[in-house]
Amino acid sequence: MSMKKSSPVSRSGRFASGPGADVAEFTESISFDWRLWRHDIMGSIAHATMLQKIGVLTKAELQAITKSLEEIGQEIHDGKFEWKPELEDVHMNIEAELTKRVPTGAKLHTARSRNDQVALDMRLWLRDEIVELAGELRGLQGALVGLADKNAEVVIPGYTHLQRAQPVYFAHHLLAYVEMVERDHQRLTDAFQRVNVCPLGSGAIAGSTLPLDREFVAEQLGFVDAKGKPVVTQNSMDGVSDRDFAIEFCSVAALAAVHLSRLAEDVILWASSEFNFIKIADAYTTGSSLMPQKKNPDVAELTRGKTGRVVGNLMALLTLLKGLPMTYNRDLQEDKERLFDTAVTIRGCVRLMGAMLENTSVNTKNCAAAASDPALLATDLADYLVRKGIPFRQAHHVVGAVVALAEKEGKALNQLTLEQLKALDKTFGNDALGVFDLKKAMAQRNLIGAPGTKEVARQLGRWKKILKG
Q: 3-state DSSP call for residue 221?
A: coil
From 31, 272, 288, 361, the catalytic residue: 288
Q: How far apart are CA 137 and CA 132, in angstroms?
A: 9
Name the residue among 55, 108, 65, 140 with its Cα closest to residue 347.
140
Check if the beta carbon of residue 354 is closer than 8 Å to that of residue 139: yes
From 12, 17, 161, 273, the catalytic residue: 161
272 annotated active-site = no
**Amino acid type, 113:** S
Residue 55, phi-psi category: left (phi > 0), alpha (psi -120 to 50), beta (remainder): left
Q: How far apart are CA 8 and CA 96, in angstroms?
A: 10
Q: How far apart are CA 253 and CA 350, in angstroms?
A: 10
Q: How far apart are CA 118 and CA 326, in angstroms?
A: 16
Q: How many CB atoms lie within 10 A of CB 273?
A: 7
Strands 278-280 and 163-169: unpaired
Q: Which residues contact 349 (CB under 8 A, 6 or more apart)?
A: 257, 260, 302, 303, 306
Name the residue among 449, 302, 355 with its Cα closest to residue 144.
355
Length of the chain: 469
Check if the beta carbon of residue 324 is closer than 8 Å to that of residue 331: yes
Name the residue among 331, 356, 295, 326 with its Cα closest to residue 139.
356
Name the residue among 196, 198, 194 with its Cα closest to residue 47.
198
Q: 3-state DSSP call for residue 213?
A: coil
Q: How far apart are CA 240 and CA 233, in angstroms?
A: 9
Catalytic residue numbers, as ranges: 161, 288
